[in-house]
Amino acid sequence: MRLFPTQSGGDFFLIRKLIRQNLVYLIVIFLLLVGFGISLYIVSRQVYEEEAQWRSQKTMAEVTSGKTIISNYFSDLQRDLDFVLALPDLKSYFAQEFDPIKKSRAEKVLTDFLEGKQSYQMTITNLSGAEMVKVESETLRALSWPNALSNREIHRKLFEKAVALEKGQIAFSPIYYATEKEGSKTTKRVLMTLALPLFSDSAVKKGVTFIDLDLINVFEILANIQLFIQTDEGTDIFFDQKVGTFDIKNLGYALTGSSGWYPITDLEMIHYSRVKIFAEQPFIIAAYHQYPLLKVTLGKLVYLFGALFLLFLSLVVYSILTNFSVLKKTINTQKAIVFSLATLAEGRDPETGKHLERSRDYAVILARQLSIHKKYKKVITRDFLDNLYYAATLHDIGKVAIPDSVLLKNGKLTDVEFDEMKQHVLTGQNVLRETIAKYHLTESFLEMGMNICAYHHEKFNGKGYPEGLVGEEIPLEARIFALCDAYDAIRSKRSYKEELSHLEAMNRIVADKNQHFDPDVVDAFLDCEKKLLAIT
For the ranges 224-238, 345-359, 393-407, the lowest mean pLDDT is seen at: 345-359
For the residues 9-23, what does the mean pLDDT come to? 54
Q: How confident is the model at residue 240 (pLDDT cuts 50, 70, 90)?
A: confident
Residue ranges of alpha helices (H) inside 244-376 are 293-348, 350-370
| DSSP helix/strand/coil, 281 | strand
pTM above 0.85, yes or no: no
pLDDT at 90 over 60: yes
pLDDT at 184 over 80: no
pLDDT above 70 coverage of the chain, percent = 79
pLDDT at 294 over 90: no
For the residues 317-322, what does the mean pLDDT come to? 68
Q: What are the structural domains, with CATH classification, of the chain?
A: 52-291 (3.30.450.20), 348-534 (1.10.3210.10)
For the ranges 99-108, 133-142, 384-393, 477-486, the lowest mean pLDDT is seen at: 133-142
Within 367-519, strands assigned E span none
Res 5: pLDDT: 43
pLDDT at 470 over 80: yes
Res 368: pLDDT: 96
pLDDT at 265 over 90: no
HSE-up (13 A, CA, CB side) for residue 191? 29
For the residues 268-274, what does the mean pLDDT come to? 88
Tens digit of pLDDT for each residue in 419-428? 999 999 999 8
Res 19: pLDDT: 62
Res 9: pLDDT: 46
Nearest to 402 by CA among 439, 336, 352: 352
For the ranges 308-322, 469-483, 522-536, the lowest mean pLDDT is seen at: 308-322
CB count in 10 Å sphere of residue 170: 21
Res 468: pLDDT: 95
- Cα–Cα distances in angstroms (integers) from residue 415 to residues 265, 411, 476, in the given order: 80, 13, 29
| DSSP helix/strand/coil, 253 | coil
Res 187: pLDDT: 81
For the ranges 326-330, 445-449, 457-461, the lowest mean pLDDT is seen at: 326-330
| DSSP helix/strand/coil, 179 | strand
Using CA atoms in the order 360, 363, 368, 374, what is the torsion angle rounded to 10 degrees?
-150
CB 359 within 8 A of CB 484: yes
Tens digit of pLDDT for each residue in 37-78? 676 656 555 555 666 677 778 888 888 888 898 888 888 888
Q: DSSP label at 147?
A: G
What secondary structure does DSSP assign to 12-40, as a single string? HHHHHHHHHHHHHHHHHHHHHHHHHHHHH
Tens digit of pLDDT for each residue in 490-524? 998 877 778 999 999 999 999 999 999 999 999 99
Res 511: pLDDT: 96
- Cα–Cα distances in angstroms (integers) from residue 39 to residues 48, 265, 295, in the given order: 19, 21, 21
Tens digit of pLDDT for each residue in 322-377? 766 666 666 666 566 666 666 666 566 666 667 888 999 999 999 999 999 999 99
Q: What is the Cα–Cα distance from 390 to 409, expressed in whole angstroms? A: 29
Res 384: pLDDT: 92
pLDDT at 6 over 50: no
Helix (H) or strand (E) holding 69: helix 50-85
For the residues 229-255, what does the mean pLDDT come to? 86
For the residues 462-469, what does the mean pLDDT come to? 95
Res 469: pLDDT: 96
For the residues 391-415, what does the mean pLDDT come to? 85
Beta bridge partner(s), residue 207: 126, 198
Cα of first residue to Cα of last residue in the chain, in angstroms, is 22
Top pLDDT among 463 and 66 is at 463
What mean pLDDT, rounded, does the chain reach? 82
Res 349: pLDDT: 61
Beta bridge partner(s), residue 144: 179
Beta-sheet strand order (sheet of 259-263): 245-249, 236-240, 228-231, 280-290, 268-277, 259-263
For the residues 224-240, what does the mean pLDDT come to? 85
Res 4: pLDDT: 40
For the residues 245-269, what does the mean pLDDT come to? 85
Top pLDDT among 276 and 306 is at 276
